[in-house]
Amino acid sequence: MKYLLFISLLFITTSSLKAQKKDEKNWKNNLSFSGYVRYMKSSSVINSDSIIADNLIHNRLRFKMDFNSNLTGVVEVRNRVFFGEATNLNPALGEILNNDIGNLDLSFIPHNSRTLVVNSIFDRAYIKYSSEKWELRIGRQRINWGVNLAWNPNDLFNAYSLIDFDYQERSGVDAIRFQYYTGDMSSLEFAFQPGSDMDRSIFAGLWRFNLSGNDIQLLLGNYYTDLALGLGWAGSLKNAGFKFESTYFIPKKDINDSSNVLSTSISFDYSTKKGIYFNSSILYNSSGNNRNSSSDNLFGSFLSDVSAKNLMPSKFTYFSQISGNFTPAITSSFTAFYMKGEEMMLLMPSITYEIKENIDSMLLGQFIYNNLNSKINPMGIGVFARLAYNF
C-alpha cells in the first residue's frame, strides 16, 4: 500500500509522456508555471526583557501540465529558508521540519545548521483525469470537504489551523480521489488515504446535493480506528449566511465506548453593501478541556495535534472576524479566538497593502492572553512583517 500512489503516478505519467512526444511542438503551450517569493520578519515578545527576532524566505513553485484535454499533471513545491535568533535557539528545527506525514517522504533539508535551515517539500504531486461526468485524482493533493471558514469537522483528510496564516494552500495528503457528478449541483465522491492497515487509513464517501437552495452533504467513512458520520449544511437566514458542520467519531471495536467524539461547528457570516465582511463561529469538541491546562507554550494550545477529531483543545471555542477594504489597495482584518475553559484568547489584527499588481505587503500581530483568577495576563506577542512577489 505504501508505494501504490507512487507506482500509479509513474505508470500514468510515463504513458502520457510517450503520447505527448507525438506532438512536441505544442507541449510548451500546455505547460503553466507560477508561484511566489516572500520575505517575512518576525519578532516574538515573551516579556519586556525577551524579544526574539527571526527571518523567513518562503518560496512556492507551481507546475501544471495539460497532456491532453482529459489528463493533467500538477506538481507544487514549498521552499523555506529560516535564519535569525529563533532559528539559532532551536537546534532541532531541521529535524522538526523534515517530517513528512505522507505515505512517501517528499521533504528535504538541503542545509541544516544553527544559523540557517533550508526545507523543501512537495505538497502537491498528482495526476488528474477528468471527463464530462467524473474525475479521478491520484497522488498528493488537498481534499477539502469542509464548509466553514474557521473549523471543518468534515475535513477528514486535511485538517488545519487558521492561525497558520502564511500557508494558505494547506498541506496535501497522499490519496486516491474519485468524483462523479450526478447533476449540476450534486455529486458523489470517494477518497482513500492508504496506510499499513485500515486502522492507519482513511476511506470515506461524500454525497453533495442541493435542497431548496441549501447545499447539503452527508459523509460516511473509516477514520483510522473510528467510524465517522458527518453532516454539512450551507444556507442562509434572511441576509446572513449560515453554515453547520458536524462529524461523530465512533470507535470501531466498541460502538458503546465512552470515547465517542462529537465535533461540531456553526457559523454565521454577513457582507455589507460597502464590502465589510463579518464572520462568527463556535466549535464544540466533546473530548476537549473544560478547564485550564496551564500550558506555557505560546501557540501550542492552538496548533498541537490538529485533526478533524480534535480541531481545538478546549470543549468550546469561539471565533469572530471582521474584514474590509479601506481603499482598493488596502485591506484590513481583525480576528479573535477564545477558548472557553482554557480561558485563553488570541487576537490577530492585520493590514495588507498592494504595492503593485504582483507585489504586496502585510503587517500582522498575534496577541495571546489567558484569564486566571479573574485577571487577564499577557502570555506573548508575535509581530510579522511580510513582503511578497507573485509570479
Q: What percent of the chain has pLDDT over 90?
A: 74
pLDDT 10s digits, 89-100 = 999 999 999 989
Mapping DSSP onto H, E and C, the string for the chain reads CCCHHHHHHHHHHHHHHHHHHHHHHHCHHHEEEEEEEEEEEEEEEEECCEEEEEEEEEEEEEEEEECCCCEEEEEEEEEEEEEEHHHHHCCCHHHHHCCCCCCCCCEEEEEECCCEEEEEEEEEEEEEEECCCEEEEEEEECCCCCCCCCCCCCCCCCCCCCCCCCCCCCCCEEEEEEEEEEECCEEEEEEEECCCCHHHCEEEEEEEEEECCEEEEEEEEEECCEEEEEEEEEEEECCEEEEEEEEEEEECCCCCCCCCEEEEEEEEEEECCCCCEEEEEEEEECCCECCCCCCCCCCHHHHCCCECCECCCECEEEEEEEEEEEECCEEEEEEEEEEECCCEEEEEEEEEEEEECCEEEEEEEEEEEEEECCEEEEEEEEEEEEEEEEC
Q: Rounded distance, CA 349 to CA 227, Å?
A: 39
Predicted confidence (pLDDT) at residue 374 exceeds the cutoff of 80: no
Cβ pair 239, 218 in contact under 8 A: no
Report whether pLDDT(23) > 80: no
CA atoms of 306 and 151, how far apart (whole Å):
11
- The overall average pLDDT reported for the chain is 89
pLDDT by residue (tens digit) across 215-236? 999 999 999 999 999 999 999 9
pLDDT tens digit sequence for 53-109: 999 999 999 999 999 999 999 999 999 999 999 999 999 999 999 989 888 899 999
**Taking residues 294-307, what's their average pLDDT?**
62
**Range in 147-151, 252-256, 287-291, 361-365 with the lowest mean pLDDT:** 252-256
Domains of the chain, with CATH numbers? Answer: 142-160+178-390 (2.40.160.100)
Tell me what pLDDT residue 302 has: 61
| pTM confidence score | 0.87
Strand 134-141 relative to strand 173-183, pairing: antiparallel
pLDDT band, residue 298 (cuts 50/70/90): very low
Beta carbons of 233 and 215 less than 8 angstroms apart: yes
- 1 pLDDT band, cuts 50/70/90, is very low
pLDDT at 171: 92
Amino acid at 2: K
> What pLDDT, on a 0 to 100 scale, did the predictor assign at position 371?
80
